[in-house]
Chains A and B, each alone.
Chain A
Amino acid sequence: MAMLALPLALPAFAQTATGVVTGKVTDRNSQRPLASVQVRVAGSPRAALTDDAGNYRITAVPAGTIQVTAQRIGYAPQTRTVSVPASGVATADFSIVVSAAQLDVFVVTATGTTERKRENGAVTATIDSSAINKAAISTFADALSSRAPGVVVQQAAGETGAGSRVRIRGSNSISLSNEPLLIIDGARVDNNPSSSAIGTGGQLPSRLNDINPEEIENIEIIKGPAAAALYGTAAANGVIQITTKKGRAGATRWDVFSETGSIKDVNNYEPNFRSYGHTAAGALVTNCSLYSRTSLAASKCVAVDSTISNLPLATAGMESNGDRRIAGASVAGGSDLATYFLSGEYQKEQNVILVNNSQRMNIRTNVRGQLAKSLDAQVSIGFTNSDLRRPQDDNNAFGVVSGSQLGKAADCGPNGLNLQHPGLCGSDTLSRGYYNPGIDPKAFYNINTRQGVQRLTGSIASNWTPISWLAVNGTFGADVDNRNDNETIQPNVLAYSQNTLDGSRGVYRAYVANYTSSLNATATYDATSALKLTTAIGSQYTDIYSTRTDAFGAKLLGGSNSLAGTNARFSVSETSSEVRTLGFLGREQLAWRDRMFLTLGIRSDKNSAFGQNFSRVYYPSLSGSWVISDESYFPKVRGVTSLRLRAATGSAGQNPGYLAAEQYYTPVAVVVNGVDVPGFTIGGAGNTSLKPEKSTEVEGGFDLGLFNDRVNLEYTHYNKITKDALVNVNLAPSLGSSANRFQNLGQVRNYGDEALLRATLYESRKVTFDVTVNGAWTTNHLDDLGVDALGNRIPDIPAGFSSTQIIKAGLPLGSYYQRALTYNDINGDGLIGCPNGRGSADCEVTVADSASYQGSPFPAAEVSFAPSLAFGHVIRFTATLDHRSGQKLFNYTSNYRNQLIVNGAPSQTPSAANLAAQAAAVATTLPAPYNTYAGYFENATFTKLREVAVTLSLPDRFASQLHAGSASLTFAGRNLHTWTNYTGLDPESNAGAQANFTTAEFLTAPQVRYFTARLALSF
Chain B
Amino acid sequence: MLNIQMNRHYFARRGALALLGGCLAIGTACNPDKLLTVGTPDVVLPSDLTGPAALSSAYAASLGDFQVAYAGSSGSEGQVIFAGLLSDEYLNAETFPTRIEVDRRTTNPINSSMLPIFQNAQRARATAELVSSRYAQFDPANANRAEVQALAAYMYVLFAENYCNGVPTSKVNDDGSFAYGDPQTGAQLLTVALAKFDSAITVATAAGASGATALNLARIGKARAQLDQNNFAAAAATVAAVPTTFAYNVLHDENTSRQYNANYSFTVTSKRFSVSDKEGVNGIPFVTLNDPRAPVVRTALGFDGATPFYQPLKYQTRSAPTPLALGTEARLIEAEAALRAGDDATFLAKLNEARANSKTYAAGTAVPPAPPAAITAAAEAALSATGKQDLLFQERALDLFLTSHRLGDLRRLIKYYSRGAETVFPTGAYLVAKGGSYGTDVNLPIPFEETNNPQYKQCIDRAP
CB distance B64 to A670 under 8 Å? yes
Min CB distance A291 to B, Å, is 4
Q: How far is the CA of A606 from the CA of B37 in the complex (A)?
A: 11
B119 within 8 A of A: yes
CB distance A571 to B255 under 8 Å? yes
B170 within 8 A of A: yes
Contact A541-B22, Cβ < 8 Å, known A297-B429, A731-B452: yes
A519 within 8 A of B: yes
Minimal Cβ-Cβ distance residue in B for A898: B435
Min CB distance A633 to B, Å, is 45
Minimal Cβ-Cβ distance residue in A for B65: A681
Q: How far is the CA of A1 from the CA of B269 in the complex (A)?
A: 56
CB distance A927 to B104 under 8 Å? yes
CB distance A671 to B9 under 8 Å? no
Q: Mark A779-803, 1 if CB is under 8 A from B, else 0.
A: 0000000001110101100100011
CB distance B270 to A580 under 8 Å? no
Q: Which residues of chain A have C-beta atoms less than 8 A from B98's C-beta? A: 802
CB distance A928 to B176 under 8 Å? no
CB distance A669 to B26 under 8 Å? no
CB distance B300 to A437 under 8 Å? yes
Contact A499-B259, Cβ < 8 Å, known A517-B22, A580-B36, A928-B106: no
CB distance B61 to A734 under 8 Å? no
Highest count of chain B CB atoms <10 Å: which of A513, A582, A667: A582
Q: How far is the CA of A3 from the CA of B26 in the complex (A)?
A: 12
A610 within 8 A of B: yes
Q: Which residues of chain A have C-beta atoms less than 8 A from B297's C-beta? A: none
A357 within 8 A of B: no
Contact A792-B1, Cβ < 8 Å, known A682-B123, A733-B115, A735-B172: no
Q: Mark A897-941, 1 if CB is under 8 A from B, else 0.
A: 001111000000000000000000110111111010000000000
Contact A498-B269, Cβ < 8 Å, known A397-B303, A517-B22, A540-B22: yes
B233 within 8 A of A: no
Q: Which residues of chain A have C-beta atoms less than 8 A from B255's C-beta? A: 571, 669, 671, 676
Q: How far is the CA of A519 from the CA of B122 in the complex (A)?
A: 51
Q: Which of A93-101, A658-666, A768-776 makes up part of the contact surface?
A: A658-666
A10 within 8 A of B: no
Q: How far is the CA of A795 from the CA of B109 in the complex (A)?
A: 14
Min CB distance B76 to A, Å, is 12
CB distance A6 to B23 under 8 Å? yes
Interface size, A (range):
35 or more
CB distance B35 to A582 under 8 Å? yes
A686 within 8 A of B: yes
Minimal Cβ-Cβ distance residue in B for A434: B305
Q: Which residues of chain A have C-beta atoms less than 8 A from B304's C-beta? A: 900-901
CB distance A582 to B119 under 8 Å? no
Q: Which residues of chain B have C-beta atoms less than 8 A from A925's C-beta? A: 434-436
Q: Which residues of chain B have C-beta atoms less than 8 A from A176's C-beta? A: none
CB distance A437 to B36 under 8 Å? no
Residues of B21-72 whose CB lies within 8 A of A: 21-23, 25-26, 32-33, 35-46, 49, 56-61, 63-65, 67-68
> Which of B32, B56, B177, B180 lies in contact with A677, CB distance below 8 A?
B56
Contact A794-B452, Cβ < 8 Å, known A497-B269, A659-B43, A668-B64: yes
CB distance B456 to A517 under 8 Å? no
Highest count of chain A CB atoms <10 Å: which of B49, B101, B256, B434: B256
Residue total for B at the interface (Cβ-Cβ under 8 A) = 113
> Which of A292, A665, A670, A672 lies in contact with B44, CB distance below 8 A?
A665
Q: Which residues of chain B have C-beta atoms less than 8 A from A902's C-beta? A: 433-435
Min CB distance B248 to A, Å, is 12
CB distance B14 to A683 under 8 Å? no
> Which of B2, B14, B258 lies in contact with A545, CB distance below 8 A?
B14
Minimal Cβ-Cβ distance residue in A for B300: A438
Q: How many contacting A-B pairs (Cβ < 8 A)? A: 332
Q: How far is the CA of A840 from the CA of B259 in the complex (A)?
A: 48
B110 within 8 A of A: yes
CB distance A1 to B59 under 8 Å? no
Q: How far is the CA of A672 from the CA of B147 in the complex (A)?
A: 12
Contact A931-B168, Cβ < 8 Å, known A517-B22, A519-B26, A736-B127: no
Q: How far is the CA of A397 from the CA of B270 in the complex (A)?
A: 11
Min CB distance B74 to A, Å, is 10
Q: How far is the CA of A893 from the CA of B2 in the complex (A)?
A: 46
> Which of B22, B49, B63, B112 lies in contact with A670, CB distance below 8 A?
B63
Q: Mark A587-621, 1 if CB is under 8 A from B, else 0.
A: 00000000000000000001111111011000000
Q: Which of A18-26, A474-482, A484-492, A856-864 makes up part of the contact surface?
A: A474-482
A378 within 8 A of B: no
CB distance A672 to B36 under 8 Å? no
CB distance A476 to B123 under 8 Å? no
Q: How far is the CA of A545 from the CA of B169 in the complex (A)?
A: 39
Residues of B162-201 whose CB lies within 8 A of A: 167-172, 176-178, 180-181
B95 within 8 A of A: yes
CB distance A611 to B1 under 8 Å? yes
B450 within 8 A of A: yes
Q: Which residues of chain A have C-beta atoms less than 8 A from B118's C-beta? A: 733
Sample of 9 A–B contacts (CB below 8 Å): A6-B23, A297-B429, A517-B21, A665-B46, A680-B58, A731-B452, A739-B115, A789-B178, A931-B106
Known pairs A608-B1, A899-B434, A924-B97. 12 more at Cβ < 8 A?
Answer: A292-B432, A541-B25, A574-B42, A578-B9, A608-B36, A662-B45, A664-B40, A664-B43, A665-B49, A685-B176, A802-B112, A927-B106
